[in-house]
Amino acid sequence: MNHDDLNHWSKRAADWTTDYHASLRDRPVRAPLTPGAIAAQLPALAPDAPEPMETIFADFEAIVPPGMTHWQHPRFFAYFPANASPASMLAEQLANAMAAQGMLWQTSPAVTEIEQVMVGWLRAALGLPEGFTGTIHDSATTTTLSAILTMREQATAFAGNIKGLSGSPALRFYASSQTHSSVDKAIRVAGIGQDNLVKIETDASFSMAPEALDAAIKADRAAGLIPAGVILCAGGTSIGAFDHIADCITVAKSHDLPVHVDAAWAGSAMICPEFRTLWRGIEGADSIVFNPHKWLGVQFDCAIQFLRDPTPQVKTLGLRPTYLETAGREEIVNFNEWTVPLGRRFRALKLWFTLRAYGLDGLRERIRNHVLWANEACDALATIRGVRIKTQPILSLFTFALKSDEATEALLTRINDDGRIYLTQTRHEGEYVIRVQVGQFDCTREDVMMIPQVIAELMVP
């Protein structure tokens, strides 16, 4: 295949894309397959001889779409969305065409400089104060890992990277039980040890109790352990819980501890000023992550980290061997020094396209509709006999259950086998519950109201 062929097949792929998106509502949201069904259709070994693109494309059409869970389906209400607006898909195609690796400013100045400007646009759009700067990571998980590594190094006067952690007193981190498992993973990967992630109790709103945080830090200090940082939750994955950001930051600062806030999902909603009371006090954070790839329509993957001061993170993650030096240009930013991987995709391009093609007003309208429709769907579900709303909507996420875990689980199986909508589960206060989140870029009110309709049909009398 050469570049002329690429032109031909790109046009064919564009036509296929149009048909695919137009057909989504007719497809089951979740792939209705048994494990191994796709792999069984592929030969065991790679071909020795080249194959014609005609055959490869035909196999793609026959094998792949039926094996996909359709994340861009307007009735995808599972997990959190991984939204891809058409404008961001176009930007990804262009970024793929240039196929640059933006590890240094000089390996593509546009990659670095558009990233800097996009972080600035988003900072202002979310209502964060000037002074926050930041970068783009692949995921919230690696962003939180970067923040925890940085807090670890600050707590050890930057000796952890050089000498390792063995022999020093345990470093302690604090988070609530509502934080995402990516925090646990980062704590493990950073060598802190799961036992040193202190899960602080939550109050009636499932928010970290600031007094409990204060008490835990004091107890650890008294025991000779080293408090190193606090991770706060702004829109937890399970039920959407928000910690009391302002009060918890006040406690952390009274102990001179840095704070990282995980707003991976809910951060996008902060482009709407009326939702910002949920993370009141956010300007006191040292590091904040949010994923435009979740709810802002920016194709996966794209996680933004805002930093009050990038210096400690660059000191933690930056290495400059001779082969990465950029002689005579010490004033420029080399973003690989801010993140874990060296290589960097051109993620800022899809932000640029998305923010311009829809405007903040267009994106706000979508998010406001999602919140409104989630509330309407919740109200309608509450009227169905046997359905119990377990947690009320926080932004566009709520949960419900039936009379027992078994009945709830059986209903979820029936819903997802049916295929018209896709929902997933969590456990809340020990109970198995079904999560409903509304956030798909192209969903309509009609799509959302299909949730109570399908559930009413699938309830067993």
Q: Quick one: which segment of 125-133, 138-146, 326-334, 403-411 binds ligand PLP (CB under 6 A)?
A: 138-146
- Residue 295 as a binder of ligand PLP (CB under 6 A): the answer is no
The minimum distance between CB 250 and ligand PLP, in angstroms, equals 23
| Distance of alpha carbon 38 from the chain centroid | 27
Length of the chain: 461
The minimum distance between CB 33 and ligand PLP, in angstroms, equals 23
Q: Give the whole-angstrom CA distance, residue 406 versus residue 426.
A: 13
Q: Quick one: which segment of 5-13, 134-142, 392-400, 428-436 binds ligand PLP (CB under 6 A)?
A: 134-142
Binding residue for ligand PLP (CB under 6 A) from 126, 140, 209, 355? Answer: 140
The minimum distance between CB 317 and ligand PLP, in angstroms, equals 17
Q: Give the whole-angstrom CA distance, residue 237 versus residue 189.
A: 21
Binding residue for ligand PLP (CB under 6 A) from 152, 180, 420, 428? Answer: 180
Is-contact 451 421, C-beta < 8 A? yes
By beta-carbon proximity to ligand PLP, the closer residue of 285 and 387 is 285
Q: Quick one: which segment of 66-74, 110-118, 137-145, 414-422 binds ligand PLP (CB under 6 A)?
A: 137-145
By beta-carbon proximity to ligand PLP, the closer residue of 140 and 197 is 140
- Residue 421's Cβ-count burial label (10 Å; 0-12, 13-18, 19+) is buried
Q: Give the whole-angstrom CA distance, residue 320 versus residue 105.
A: 13
Among residues 104, 197, 100, which one has the least CA distance to residue 144?
Answer: 197
By beta-carbon proximity to ligand PLP, the closer residue of 142 and 408 is 142
The minimum distance between CB 264 and ligand PLP, in angstroms, equals 3
Taking the CA atoms of 385, 387, 389 and 393 in sequence, report the sign of the dihedral they define.
Answer: negative
| Distance of alpha carbon 257 from the chain centroid | 25
Binding residue for ligand PLP (CB under 6 A) from 270, 303, 314, 355? Answer: 303
CB count in 10 Å sphere of residue 215: 14
The minimum distance between CB 402 and ligand PLP, in angstroms, equals 25
The minimum distance between CB 423 and ligand PLP, in angstroms, equals 15
Q: What is the DSSP string of 342-401?
A: S-----HHHHHHHHHHHHHHHHHHHHHHHHHHHHHHHHHHHTSTT-EEEEEEETTEEEEE
- Which positions from 226 to 265 touch ligand PLP by CB under 6 A, shown as an x/- string? ----------xx------------------------x-xx
Q: What is the DSSP string of 204-250?
A: TTS-B-HHHHHHHHHHHHHTT-EEEEEEEEBS-TTT--B--HHHHHH
The minimum distance between CB 255 and ligand PLP, in angstroms, equals 24
- Residue 353 as a binder of ligand PLP (CB under 6 A): the answer is no
- Which positions from 54 to 93 touch ligand PLP by CB under 6 A, shown as an x/- string? --------------------------x-------------
Structure-token pair, residue 340: 């874990």
Binding residue for ligand PLP (CB under 6 A) from 107, 139, 161, 453? Answer: 139
The minimum distance between CB 182 and ligand PLP, in angstroms, equals 4
By beta-carbon proximity to ligand PLP, the closer residue of 105 and 300 is 300
Q: At what angle do helices 3-23 and 53-63 cross, to 10 degrees?
A: 20
Measured distance between the N- and C-terminal CA atoms of the chain, rounded to whole angstroms: 59
By beta-carbon proximity to ligand PLP, the closer residue of 105 and 290 is 290
Helices (H), 64-139: 86-98, 109-125
Binding residue for ligand PLP (CB under 6 A) from 112, 207, 287, 291? Answer: 291
- Residue 447 as a binder of ligand PLP (CB under 6 A): the answer is no
Q: Would you call the peptide bond into 301 cis, given omega within 30 degrees of 0 as the criterion?
A: yes
- Residue 141 as a binder of ligand PLP (CB under 6 A): the answer is yes
Q: How many residues bind ligand PLP (CB under 6 A)?
A: 13
**How does strand 259-262 pair with strand 226-233?**
parallel
- Residue 182 as a binder of ligand PLP (CB under 6 A): the answer is yes
Task: Please report, as ranges, the residues that interact with ligand PLP according to CB under 6 A.
Answer: 80, 139-141, 180, 182, 236-237, 262, 264-265, 291, 303
